[in-house]
Amino acid sequence: MQELGLNKRQVAAISFLRVHGTITSGRYQELNAVAARTAVNDLNDLIGKRIIERKGRSRRDTHYILAPAQGGGSVDGSDVAR
């Protein structure tokens, strides 16, 4: 995932999402021991890279899921020829 420019916190969140299917900003903060602003910045970066999608209608209901793979690729780079 280094090719995508992800930090260790983001990689941990993706692993969490693969197991649990969803994550909230609060859970991201707990998982990575970071402030709310850092969690929001990291999650917004993952959204911008089309790795996750934001769901929910209100701030209270907001959660994040893995985005469908674009073009059949994988998030972890396992589809890249080495």
pLDDT tens for residues 21-72? 999 999 999 999 999 999 999 999 999 999 999 999 888 899 999 999 754 4
- Alpha helices, H only, the chain: 8-20, 25-32, 36-48
What pLDDT does residue 1 have? 60
What is the separation, in whole angstroms, between the first and last Cα of the chain?
A: 14
pTM of the model: 0.80
What pLDDT does residue 59 have? 82
Domains, the chain, with CATH or none: 2-68 (1.10.10.10)
What pLDDT does residue 71 have? 45
55 versus 78: the higher-pLDDT residue is 55
- Phi (first) and psi of residue 55, to 5 degrees: -130, 160
Q: Measuring CA to CA, how many Å separate 61 from each of 2, 6, 11, 40, 53?
A: 31, 26, 23, 15, 14
